[in-house]
Structure 1
Amino acid sequence: MAAIAAAAMFAVTSCSTGGGSSSEEEGGGGGALPPNASSQQLRDHSISSTKGKKAAFVPVGLGTPLTEEWNRQLKRGFEAAGMEYVVRDPNWDTARQAEAVQSLINEKPDVLVVHNFDVQVLAKLIQQAEEAGIYVIQINMVSNYKSDAFVGADTIELGRRMATDIVKECGEATSTSHKVQIVQGDATSGFTLDVMAGAKEVFDQHPDIKIVSTQAANWDRTKAHDITATVIQQHPDLCASWGFWDQMQYGAATAIKEAGKIGQVKVFTSDHSAITCQALRDGLFFQSYGYSVPTQGTDIVSIAKYLLQSGKEPGSARIADFTPLVKIDRSNWDQPNMCYDGRTDGLTVS
Structure 2
Amino acid sequence: MMKKLALLGVGATMIIGMGVTTYGAEQYTIALIPQQVGIPYFETSNVWGTKAGEDLGCEVIYTGPTTGDAAAQANIVQDMITKGVDCIAISPLDASAIEPVLKQAKEEGIKVITWDSDVTDTSLREAYVNCCSEKVLGEHLMQRFAEYMGEEGEYAIITSVLTAQNCSAWAKYATEYQEENYPDMTRVAYEPCDDDQSKAYAITQNLMTAYPDLKGVLGVTTPAPPAAAQAVGEAGKNGEIIVTGVVEASAAKSYLEDGSMQEANIWHPGKLGYLAVYTAKALLDGEEITDGMDIPEVGVVEVKDDQIIMTELLDITTENVDDFDF
TM over 0.5, shorter chain? yes
Post-superposition Cα deviations, 1:299-323, rounded to whole Å, max 9, x if no partner, equal 12221221122179xxxx8333234
Secondary structure at 1:218 match in 2: coil
Q: d(CA) in 2 for partners of 1:60 and 1:166?
A: 26
Aligned to 1:63: 38
Is the radius of gyration larger for structure 1 or structure 2? 1
Aligned to 2:213: 237
Change (3 A) 1:106 1:267: same
1:231 deviates by 1.7
Change (3 A) 1:273 1:152: farther
Identity of aligned residues (%): 24
Aligned to 2:10: none
Aligned to 1:21: none
The amino acid of 1:10's aligned partner reads M
Aligned to 2:50: 75
Secondary structure at 1:60 match in 2: coil
Kept in 2, the 8 Å contact 1:152–1:323? The answer is no
Is the deviation greater in 322-331 or in 212-221?
A: 322-331
Post-superposition Cα deviations, 1:54-113, rounded to whole Å, max 9, x if no partner, equal 111222221121121122222222133332332333212322211111222233211111
Change (3 A) 1:238 1:133: same
Kept in 1, the 8 Å contact 2:217–2:243? The answer is yes
Kept in 1, the 8 Å contact 2:41–2:222? The answer is no
Q: d(CA) in 2 for partners of 1:261 and 1:271?
A: 20
Q: d(CA) in 1 for partners of 2:17 and 2:71?
A: 37
Q: Does 1:268 align with 2:244?
A: yes
Map 1:306-321 onto structure 2 (within 5 A).
Answer: 306-310=282-286, 318-321=306-309
1:286 deviates by 0.5
Change (3 A) 1:68 1:13: closer
Map 1:1-350 onto structure 2 (within 5 A).
Answer: 7=5, 10-11=14-15, 14=18, 31=21, 46=24, 48=25, 51-92=26-67, 93-146=69-122, 147-154=125-132, 155-171=134-150, 178-205=153-180, 206-310=182-286, 318-334=306-322, 336-337=323-324, 339-340=325-326
Q: d(CA) in 2 for partners of 1:150 and 1:113?
A: 9
Kept in 2, the 8 Å contact 1:148–1:319? The answer is no
The amino acid of 1:187's aligned partner reads L
Kept in 1, the 8 Å contact 2:95–2:120? The answer is yes
Change (3 A) 1:7 1:273: farther
Q: d(CA) in 2 for partners of 1:294 and 1:5?
A: 25
Task: In structure 2, list runs of 5 or more residues that go unmatched.
Answer: 7-12, 289-304
Aligned to 2:9: none
Kept in 1, the 8 Å contact 2:244–2:264? The answer is yes
Task: In structure 1, list runs of 5 or more residues that go unmatched.
Answer: 16-29, 33-44, 341-350
The amino acid of 1:90's aligned partner reads P
Aligned to 1:23: none
Change (3 A) 1:199 1:110: same
Change (3 A) 1:242 1:56: same
Q: d(CA) in 1 for partners of 2:53 and 2:74?
A: 23
Is the deviation greater in 319-328 or in 267-276?
A: 319-328
1:171 deviates by 4.9
Post-superposition Cα deviations, 1:16-53, rounded to whole Å, max 9, x if no partner, equal xxxxxxxxxxxxxx615xxxxxxxxxxxx63x1xx322
Q: TM-score scaled to structure 2, two decimals? A: 0.82
1:114 deviates by 0.9
Secondary structure at 1:10 match in 2: coil
Kept in 2, the 8 Å contact 1:156–1:196? The answer is no
Q: d(CA) in 2 for partners of 1:168 and 1:76?
A: 38
1:249 deviates by 2.3
Q: TM-score scaled to structure 1, two decimals? A: 0.77
Kept in 2, the 8 Å contact 1:295–1:323? The answer is no
1:124 deviates by 2.5
Q: d(CA) in 1 for partners of 2:215 and 2:16?
A: 52
Kept in 1, the 8 Å contact 2:63–2:76? The answer is yes
